[in-house]
Amino acid sequence: MSRGITRRTALGAIAAPALLGLPGVARADTRTLKISHQFPGSGPDGGDFRDRLCRKLAEGVEQRSNGALKFEIYPNSSLMKTFAQFDALKKGALDLSLYPTTYAGGEIPELNITFMPAVISSYEQAYRWKTAPIGKELSAILEAKGVKIVTWMWQSGGIATRGKPIVRPEDAKGLKIRGGSREMDMMFKAAGATTANMPSNELYIAMQTGAVDAAVTSSSSLVSFKLEELSKYLTSASGQSFFFVFEPLLMSKQTFDSLPAEQQKIILKVGESLEPFGREGSMADDKTLSEVYAKAGVAVKEMDKESMDLWRKVASESAWKDFSERSKDTARFLQMAEAV
């Protein structure tokens, strides 16, 4: 990821939408779709790859539809607040969003499996979900709620701390940590921490003010939101990691169903073609994360297998147990996840 963008740009000062389209006069039958997400904007000199993924979708669909479909892209939750985006997708008030599905876990408990600590241990395992029974059921649940997966994407992540490093469960004791999901929070509480709930685009202020001692989020967000400026230690994603989160590009089913069949096919084809870009971007940011933090003078730690096994034990006795006991459906989803 390029570090050439300014802090102002990186934190989403591009509040106005980016209008992507073919040159010339707009067609009379042109339809403009809105894409909203919580991540920083990007530009010609680089930036958050998740925003670039959205722009690549827009460019590809516009070209293949001969300009019949155009897009407005709103980074940094500049169109609507982060947590409001899922409901807007369901109602057709928003067309597309690159959105962590765990944010909708309060409404759809099964989605909490998409950010369950220590269930997934590699990108290879994560991407197998797409064609496995669990992936097909997740797609069906989302579509029943009015939301369609356009691009599958997973991210790994790490832990930035203002004080001592967090590598083993006992390191979390007494700290206030932003885990990022109900289940992640349960694991940290079981390790003796307290937790705070907020979207990743609010982490800089929370770290700056001391509202949290540590932030657990994706490698891309740890870089894009410049948390190295506030951190003394980083537990990177380069070693073992209990952090894998599903952040797909989602589309309102109302919007999708209102399009001609040919345009639907174009969106799905372009969306699927971007999955290698998403995976490569995630893995590149895992590497960039350690480099950026080390350059900023942050002490970088890695989690070894022994530490990972300790976290898995804490997670299985807290978050996994709670999830499996919530209902027959959640128990079945955990079984399906462990089978992949």
| pLDDT, one tens digit for every residue, the chain (340 residues) | 444 444 434 444 444 454 444 443 345 589 999 999 999 999 877 899 999 999 999 999 999 999 999 999 999 999 999 999 999 999 999 999 999 999 999 999 999 999 999 999 999 999 999 999 999 999 999 999 999 999 999 999 999 999 999 999 999 999 999 999 999 999 999 999 999 999 989 999 999 999 999 999 999 999 999 999 999 999 999 889 999 999 999 999 999 999 999 999 999 999 999 999 999 999 999 999 999 999 999 999 999 999 999 999 999 999 999 999 999 999 999 999 999 9
Distance (Å, rounded) from C-alpha 126 to C-alpha 282? 12
Burial group, residue 328, by CB count within 10 angstroms (0-12, 13-18, 19+): exposed
Distance (Å, rounded) from C-alpha 315 to C-alpha 202? 25
Sort strands 46-47 and 147-151 into parallel, antiparallel or unpaired.
unpaired
The residues near 181 (Cβ < 8 Å, ≥ 6 apart) are 102, 105, 112, 115, 116, 245
- As a whole number of Å, the end-to-end CA separation of the chain is 31
Distance (Å, rounded) from C-alpha 147 to C-alpha 51? 20
**Helical (H) or strand (E) element with 323:** helix 321-326
Distance (Å, rounded) from C-alpha 261 to C-alpha 243? 38
Is residue 240 within 8 A of residue 217, CB to CB? The reply is: no
Distance (Å, rounded) from C-alpha 17 to C-alpha 163? 38
**pTM exceeds 0.85 for this model:** yes
Cα 40 off chain centre by: 12
pLDDT in the model for residue 27:
53
The residues near 129 (Cβ < 8 Å, ≥ 6 apart) are 135, 138, 152, 246, 337, 340
pLDDT in the model for residue 289:
96
At residue 229, what is the residue type?
E
